Structure 1
Amino acid sequence: MEAQLKVFVGFLVIVCVIGAVSVEAAGPCGDSSPDDEAIKLLPCAAAAQDAKAAVSSSCCFQVKKFSQNPGCLCAVLFSDMAKSSGVKPEAGITIPKRCNFANRPIGYKCGPYTLP
């Protein structure tokens, strides 16, 4: 009986360690990298470079998916892909408001910026 208990406890420890590693491996966008997610926001290129540019319906459709995960949106705005595409985080952070999302995460801190 004692040997079975030791095996069971050992199994639990392994499961917990694997679970902890899996949680650490997931980033702000889950299993997807912010660079991979940035590609999905291609329709937002102009709106993310100029806070006064019109926001297309296809951009709003894509950004709405991020409204439930503002940490991912923030990571995308500061990703290498976004930087190399000319995205200005101070403009990109205003897209949910410009899309008129009523349930956007107002006040969420994204680096030095706050979601309006």
Structure 2
Amino acid sequence: MRSLLVLSLVVVAAACLAAPRGAHGAGECGRTPADEMALKLAPCASAGQDPNSAPSSGCCTAVRTIGKQSPKCLCAVMLSDTAKSAGIKPEAAISIPKRCNLVDRPVGYKCGAYTLP
């Protein structure tokens, strides 16, 4: 009986080790989850709340860096739970690339219910 229990545990452990580990690395921002990547947008706190404010140079640098990964990543970060919990308004956040005068921004990119200007 004891050997059957040990064998069962070994089989379960082997199955757990062989099972896929989810979609790690398959997110919009690669291996880094969008909520974690959103922490890099801390300099954009005020610009993400007021669509008429001028973003800081630190904010523009962060947006440029995240946007270089992909428009999907930038969109996911701006609409992430982390951004929302920091008080970021999606309608203000999506205008930050334009307010930073980023020439290579994804104009017209559909970001959730919003379109990047």
TM range (shorter): 0.7 to 0.9
Offset at residue 70 of structure 1 (A): 1.2
Between the aligned partners of 1:84 and 1:101, the Cα distance in structure 2 is 26
The amino acid that maps onto 1:49 is: Q
Aligned to 2:82: 81
Structure 1's unaligned 5+ residue stretches are 1-20
Aligned positions of 1:58-77 closer than 5 A: 58-68=58-68, 69-77=70-78
Q: Greater CA radius of gyration, 1 or 2?
A: 2
Aligned positions of 1:87-98 closer than 5 A: 87-98=88-99
Q: Percent identity?
A: 57
Structure 2's unaligned 5+ residue stretches are 1-19
What CA RMSD, in Å, does the superposition of the two structures yield over aligned residues?
1.8
Contact 2:67–2:73 (CA<8 Å) still a contact in 1? no
Between the aligned partners of 1:91 and 1:54, the Cα distance in structure 2 is 11
1:48 and 2:48 are equivalent in the alignment: yes
Aligned to 2:30: 30
When the two structures are aligned, how many residues end up with a matched partner? 97
Between the aligned partners of 2:66 and 2:108, the Cα distance in structure 1 is 15
Between the aligned partners of 1:93 and 1:66, the Cα distance in structure 2 is 13
**Ranges of 4+ aligned residues in structure 1 off by more than 6 Å:** none
The amino acid that maps onto 2:113 is: P
